[in-house]
Amino acid sequence: MSSHRRRRIKIVHVVGARPNFMKVAPIMKEMDKRPRRFEQVLVHTGQHYDKNMSRYFFEELHLPRPDVYLGVGSGSHSEQTARVMVGFEKVLKELGPDYVLVVGDVNSTLACSVVASKLWIPVIHVEAGLRSFDRTMPEEINRIVTDRLSDVLFTTCEDANRNLKKEGAPKGKIHFVGNVMIDTLIRYRAESRKSSILSDLGLTKRRYAVITMHRPSNVDHKYTLRRLFEAFHEIGGHLPVVFPAHPRTVKQMKKFGIKHDKKKVRLLEPLGYLDFLRLYMDSMFVITDSGGIQEETTYLGIPCLTIRENTERPVTIKKGTNILVGTDKDKIIRESLKILRGKGKKGAIPPLWDGKAARRIVDVLKTR
């Protein structure tokens, strides 16, 4: 064997919550094509772990079983972050990787970035530079801290590049590669067509709306949640509305005594990735507070009404199909009715959202 042959790069991938799986999957698949260059270890912190939020996603996205499962479970932001840090430190000391790769903006991303940095292990952040400029959002704190600690910053859009440069990130750290969420969507779009979710629910393509909602700013306040359901019920009087409900949302509805009209809003249990992709891909429009859904609807050309006052993904508004409607009941109804009249927002696909982001990421890392 040649003495000049480069050794493999050992990378620890961190996943903790459902959106992480869709982001890590294409990167791991791309690294699998270069087994002589990369050694991969998958760590699942267990931030989200039930059959629909985790196990089904691993199966459907063909992710390998996690090499390490920390099982931190739920808790306050501080409790969850602390448990991840304690467990992950032991993992890194045992494994001694060359890099830790984190994605998105969940608590696991922040916690693992801090631990790696203190052990002088370089951090790679996929989906860096996104900013809502709203520090009341826990995710915003996670983004800012993770980006400051990271040694390699992979961005999804030009806005993210500008944010990082304004914050003083060295140009050499920033790599504009596109959106790995879109890689996964493109890969599984055809497979999702096999899902029977529409027929199971008696829905007709482009004749129904989908709701997703889980953020504390929407579900932890009785008046806000009640007002949102009043809007949903009004919309449900015009077309079927389906709502795969996050367990947190259902819990808060019960706590606040908020009833829903089953004829106007159909609550579903959380869905697997392929069923959910089929459901919103064939909808007339989506109402959401999710960041990833804003991106995916923009790619698919589906009108999206975001029930937030701000977004860390402004490209979905500038170029895409997204409209910020906040929690204004009248605005939500008004924009929904516009879509029903065929006047929904049209958009374009942002640059490099082409299904090749993971390849670009791996091309950068293989030269390090």
Q: Which of 45, 124, 49 is nearest to 91 (CA)?
A: 45
* Top-confidence residue, 249 or 230: 230
Whether the CB-CB separation of 286 and 302 falls below 8 Å is answered with yes
Query: Does the pLDDT of residue 189 top 90, yes or no?
Result: yes
Q: What is the pTM of this model?
A: 0.94
Quote the mean pLDDT of the chain.
Answer: 94
Mean pLDDT calculated for residue range 50-61: 68
Write out pLDDT tens, residues 106-138.
999 999 999 999 999 999 999 999 999 999 999
Q: Which of 63, 65, 67 is nearest to 43 (CA)?
A: 67
pLDDT at 188: 96
d(CA 140, CA 170): 21
With bands split at pLDDT 50, 70 and 90, how would you rate the model's confidence at 343?
A: very high
Q: Which of 251, 197, 263, 195 is nearest to 225 (CA)?
A: 251
pLDDT at 136: 92
Whether the CB-CB separation of 173 and 141 falls below 8 Å is answered with no
Q: Do domains 9-179+353-365 and 194-340 have the same CATH topology?
A: yes
pLDDT at 49: 57
Whether the CB-CB separation of 209 and 283 falls below 8 Å is answered with yes
With bands split at pLDDT 50, 70 and 90, how would you rate the model's confidence at 151?
A: very high
pLDDT at 55: 65
Measured CA distances, 203 to 246, 254, 283, 298, 340 (Å): 21, 27, 9, 22, 16
User: Hey, where are the domains in the chain?
Assistant: 9-179+353-365, 194-340
Count of other CB atoms within 10 angstroms of residue 151: 16
pLDDT at 2: 41
Mean pLDDT calculated for residue range 182-186: 97
For 163: left if phi > 0, alpha if psi spans -120 to 50, otherwise beta; the answer is: alpha
With bands split at pLDDT 50, 70 and 90, how would you rate the model's confidence at 71?
A: confident
- pLDDT-wise least confident of 57-61, 220-224, 294-298, 341-345: 57-61
Catalytic residues: 214
CATH code matching the domain that covers 9-179+353-365, chosen among 3.40.50.2300, 3.30.300.30, 3.40.50.10320, 3.40.50.2000 = 3.40.50.2000
First to last CA, the chain: 21
Count of other CB atoms within 10 angstroms of residue 255: 12
Mean pLDDT calculated for residue range 335-362: 97
pLDDT at 133: 97
Whether the CB-CB separation of 109 and 16 falls below 8 Å is answered with yes
With bands split at pLDDT 50, 70 and 90, how would you rate the model's confidence at 1?
A: very low
Q: Which CATH architecture has domain 194-340?
A: 3-Layer(aba) Sandwich (3.40)
pLDDT at 76: 85
d(CA 249, CA 251): 5
With bands split at pLDDT 50, 70 and 90, how would you rate the model's confidence at 53?
A: low
Mean pLDDT calculated for residue range 62-73: 88
Query: Does the pLDDT of residue 5 top 80, yes or no?
Result: no
pLDDT at 125: 98
Mean pLDDT calculated for residue range 205-225: 95
